[in-house]
């Protein structure tokens, strides 16, 4: 079969990857890991092609024409809570053009996949684990061997196959990164292009009540399998990596083994990664730097110890300060993630977060309002409190506010989010810092584009 891997078109830079969601808040975008992983698995038995309509800036009409010309038998596409209604409208149109079998992958589908499949007749199946080879059995018609797929049997009954042992280590064939426009993907802190997205673990073992990753059992990837993929990337001249594990440093022994494996390849790669602040120590920061890490994304969320405790973050502001200090000691750039408008917040707690971001002096900061992810305790509490309806399934904390709080309206939360952006990014000290970092004209131009995108995203938008 000819299988098309599709990141559907959109009117914004929709992030649809690794079961997460949101609009890019700067001029940054990376390769969808769901499609990258499946490219290697499906290529073992089928012809595979790919279209990333977001990064190629394809309009729906141009994307439809490209898809129709490829004449795919199957389309595996990514979708997300921030864009699913537009995605589904587009794919319904594609179904009429191609008659291809349509298979979806996306975070909200893990919690409500059976309902979505029953309500949208153009969909044929839903993939519930993008590291699984379950689609091979499904496409081959071997229903009894199918795993990690929700589909309709010949009688029209919806079948949800049980996931495999969630505690097992996973591995998969090296992805076909060559199918994707790697030179187009960009992060403002990346050191070079082209850039590929890689994953070494799934889910998260921690229990932050606002985060959808608590719903996924934490699993690790075989380290030799990771090395195989890196060698494959080296063979096509790709040496910049975006590691999208939600916590790459979990379990010090495994973390050290993984970083040592990367070092054993001859220090060919530079990369950024995502970690919890409290998993870092002096030795790991030193090893991260030696392995080629140049930037770490860290979830801070709030500058209020009371809010951190309420949402089971499991750390204090003093612990966060120490983690950032270690990163700076080893020359690791820091990207801080902050949430604005958690239920229970006031203007005072939000200002604490803004001041804390400035105190930490992150190299980059992401300020988002709260997304009520399906299945989380935060969402359950928000529904019970009447902040949202149980039917609210589309949200985008990078573009608008989904939840009001006891003391703050949605409009007030969004204004405070924009205050955070202004006070952090438009400080004279921060602007001068960026100018000193921009050693090449291309870097300076990139920062200028980021500033334009940040300013544009401060404009009020409505959910759609």
Residues 105-137: tens digit of each pLDDT = 998 898 889 999 999 999 999 999 999 999 999
46 vs 398, more confident:
46
Q: Do 152 and 215 belong together in one domain?
A: no
- Domain of 393: which CATH number? 3.80.30.20
Residue 464 falls within a domain, yes or no?
no
Based on the domain organization, do 417 and 291 belong to the same domain? yes
pLDDT of residue 453 exceeding 70, the answer is no
- What's residue 370's pLDDT? 87
Q: Is residue 449 part of a domain?
A: yes
Instruction: Give me the domain span that covers residue 91.
Output: 2-160
405 and 443, same domain (yes or no): no
Give the mean pLDDT of the chain.
Answer: 89
Residue 110 within a domain: yes
Please tell me whether residues 405 and 451 are part of one structural domain.
no
Q: pLDDT per residue over 282-295, tens digit each? A: 999 999 999 999 99
Residue 384 in domain? yes
The two tokens of residue 375 are 């299945």
pLDDT reading at 376 higher than 80: yes
209-213, 410-414, 444-448, range with the lowest pLDDT: 444-448
Q: Residue 54: is its pLDDT beyond 80?
A: yes
pLDDT surpasses 50 at 203: yes
- Note whether residue 169 is domain-resident: no
What pLDDT does 440 receive? Answer: 65
Per-residue pLDDT reduced to its tens digit, 164-186? 555 678 999 999 999 999 999 99
What number is the average pLDDT over the span 183-211?
Answer: 90
Identify the residue with better confidence: 450 or 164. 450
Q: Decide if pLDDT at 65 tops 80.
A: yes
pLDDT of residue 94: 97
Mean pLDDT of 24-38: 88
Same domain, 390 and 453: no
Res. 89 pLDDT band, cuts 50 70 90? very high
What per-residue confidence (pLDDT) applies to 456? 60
Q: Do 146 and 195 belong together in one domain?
A: no
pLDDT of 26 higher than 80:
no
103, 125, 160 - which closes a domain: 160
- Is a pLDDT exceeding 70 seen at residue 42? yes
Residue 146 and residue 269 share a domain? no
| Residue 182 counted as domain residue | no
Predicted confidence band of residue 451 (pLDDT cuts 50, 70, 90): low
User: Is 179 part of any domain?
Assistant: no
Residues 333 and 437 in one domain: no
Total domains in the chain come to 3
- Predicted local confidence at residue 117, as pLDDT: 94
Q: Which band of pLDDT confidence, cut at 50, 70 and 90, is reported for residue 464? A: very low
Query: Is the same domain home to 149 and 289?
Result: no
* pLDDT the model gives residue 449: 61
Do residues 197 and 86 share a domain? no
The percent of residues above 90 in pLDDT, for the chain, comes to 64
Instruction: Tell me the pLDDT band of 462, cut-offs 50, 70 and 90.
Output: low
Identify whether 238 is part of a domain. yes
Read off the pTM.
0.91
Residues 396 and 441 in one domain: no
Interval 315-340 mean pLDDT: 96
pLDDT digits (tens, 9 = 90+) for 236-257: 999 999 999 988 888 889 999 9
Lowest mean pLDDT among 106-120, 376-390, 402-416, 448-462: 448-462
Q: In terms of domains, do 128 and 269 share one?
A: no
* CATH number of the domain where residue 94 is located: 3.40.50.280
């Amino acid at each position: 079969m000819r299988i098309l891997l599709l990141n559907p078109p959109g009117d914004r830079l929709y992030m649809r990857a690794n079961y997460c969601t949101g609009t890019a808040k700067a001029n940054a975008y990376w390769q969808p890991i769901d499609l990258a992983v499946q490219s290697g698995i499906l290529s073992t038995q089928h012809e595979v092609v790919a279209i990333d309509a977001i990064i190629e800036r394809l309009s729906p009409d141009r994307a439809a024409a490209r898809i129709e010309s490829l004449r795919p038998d199957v389309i595996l596409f990514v979708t997300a809570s921030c864009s699913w209604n537009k995605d589904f409208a587009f794919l319904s149109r594609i179904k009429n053009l191609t008659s291809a079998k349509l298979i979806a992958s996306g975070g909200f589908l893990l919690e409500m996949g059976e309902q979505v499949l029953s309500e949208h007749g153009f969909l044929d199946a839903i993939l519930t684990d993008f590291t699984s080879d379950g689609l091979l059995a499904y496409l081959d018609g071997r229903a009894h061997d199918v795993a990690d797929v929700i589909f309709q049997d010949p009688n029209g009954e919806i079948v949800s196959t049980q996931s495999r042992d969630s505690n097992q280590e996973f591995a998969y064939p090296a992805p076909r990164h060559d199918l994707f426009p790697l030179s187009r993907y960009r992060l403002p802190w990346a050191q070079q292009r082209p850039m590929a997205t890689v994953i070494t673990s799934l889910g998260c073992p921690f229990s932050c009540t606002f985060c959808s990753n608590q719903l996924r059992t934490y699993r690790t990837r075989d380290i030799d399998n990771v090395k195989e993929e890196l060698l494959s990337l080296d063979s096509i001249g790709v040496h910049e990596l975006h590691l999208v594990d939600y916590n790459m440093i979990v379990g010090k022994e495994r973390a050290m083994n993984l970083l040592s494996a990367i070092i054993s390849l001859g220090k060919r790669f530079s990369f950024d990664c995502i970690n919890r602040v409290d998993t870092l120590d002096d030795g790991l920061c030193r090893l991260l730097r030696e392995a080629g890490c140049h930037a770490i994304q860290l979830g801070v969320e709030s500058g209020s110890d009371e809010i951190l405790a309420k949402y089971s973050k499991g750390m204090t502001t003093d612990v966060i300060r120490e983690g950032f200090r270690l990163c700076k000691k080893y020359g690791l750039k820091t990207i801080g993630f902050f949430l604005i408008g958690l239920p229970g917040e006031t203007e005072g707690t939000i200002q604490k977060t803004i001041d804390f971001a400035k105190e930490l002096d992150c190299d980059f900061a992401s300020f988002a309002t709260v997304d009520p992810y399906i299945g989380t305790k935060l969402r359950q509490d928000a529904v019970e409190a009447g902040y949202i309806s149980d039917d609210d399934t589309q949200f985008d904390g990078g573009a608008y506010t989904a939840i009001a709080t006891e003391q703050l309206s949605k409009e007030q939360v969004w204004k405070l989010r924009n205050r955070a952006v202004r006070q952090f990014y438009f400080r004279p000290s921060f602007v001068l810092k960026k100018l000193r970092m921009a050693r090449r004209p291309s870097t300076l131009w990139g920062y200028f584009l980021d500033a334009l995108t940040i300013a544009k995203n401060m404009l009020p938008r409505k959910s759609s």
